[in-house]
Amino acid sequence: MTGFADYQNEIYRDGLDNRTPILPTELTALEGLARERLDPRAFGYVAGSAGTESTARANLEAFRRWRIVPRMLRDVAVRDLSVELFGRRLRSPLLLAPVGVLTIMHPEGELAVARAAAAEQVPMVLSTASSHSIEQVAQAGGAGHRWFQLYWPDDRDLAASFVQRAHDSGYETLVVTLDTHTLGWRPRDLDQAYLPFLGGAGVANFFTDPVFQKIVGDPIDETNRDRAIGIWSRLFGNPSLTWDDLPFLRERWEGPIVLKGIQHPDDARRAVDAGMDGVVVSNHGGRQVDGAAGALDALPAVAKAVGDRLTVLYDSGIRSGSDVIKAMALGARAVLLARPYAYGLGLAGQAGVRHVIRCLLADLDITMATSGNARVADLSPDLLTTAPGH
């Protein structure tokens, strides 16, 4: 085997010197380890979801309902995991999803993630709610591919400033999250009375922004920090947004625009009508709406509705190589990974993020081979069957 699967051979070779991986290679095991080792409030913030957390469970259950049917005697000696997104050829269909306030997991936060992503040639999608600024993360990521995720604030000049800063710092694609104009009801955080933003984490892009500083009245320091956080809490979300607001971004961003949080085919069609370039089928990992359908359940209908007119990506519940295969077979062009890399960051910093990326891609590469598939671009629903009882 070649390519990403070489990580498996590397691990076995290290075993000859009594060296084992720095973290588990089965990515679902990271959550339990993070629960044991990390600050309980920080762990709860990342692991938690809305309400009873039934939507987060539904995300994982949706993958279990689909089963891969392996095919035999196909030439899989060399696999091609590359995909083309918005005119750029990427060596794999993996992106790191936007996860905010990552300094609660590790002091280097998004900087460590950017370095790990660049080292593995995986695009990182930087969250608006990062603990390091747009410019700092761009510098840390060097020549790596980077996208910027916008939480559209309740101030148009501030939104325009975020977008301009991302453009000036070399971010290639704008990802607009639609489902978090208001924070979901998250009991894990509520029971701890813990919102990390109020302690100053995840607000770097606001505090370093000239428009935000003008709103506050001065550059932010210890003398006006509490006032700045109060203004942040007022401006962070904008529940009044409608489809009619999208031209505002289209006029200010020359590159691809992707709408994240799409779950209904009609919304996907409206994205096409609005001139958007892509959608991310996602329910925010179950963090916003309790009792919602698993995101994977929404993917086939969205892909059928608009897959020939814009790029369909998938997020929510990716934990293994087989999950990537299932999502792509059901219509996604690429997938976004979130919680597992955040756990890897918290447990082992930059090296932990790299380990998570390498494990997922090796698993994907090997499962492609063992299931008889040489190219991710050729995956289709014919590869899958539904599990008994579903």
Question: Which active-site residues does the annotation give?
Answer: 284
What is the rounded CA–CA span in Å between residue 172 and residue 19?
39
Cβ atoms of 81 and 91 within 8 Å: the answer is: yes
Q: Is 273 exposed, middle or buried (0-12, 13-18, 19+ CB in 10 A)?
A: exposed
- The radius of gyration computed from the CA coordinates of the chain, to the nearest angstrom, equals 20
Burial 166-203 (b: 16+ CB within 10 A, else e): bbebbbbbbbbbbbbbeebebebbeeeebbbbeebbbb
What is the rounded CA–CA span in Å between residue 210 and residue 158?
9
DSSP labels, 8-73 = HHHHHHHHTTT---SS-SSTTHHHHHHHHHS-HHHHHHHH--STTSHHHHHHHHHHHTEEE----S
What is the rounded CA–CA span in Å between residue 265 and residue 300?
9
Query: Angle 129-45-206 (CA atoms, 0-180°, nearest 5)?
Result: 15
**Strand pairing class (384-386; 124-126):** unpaired
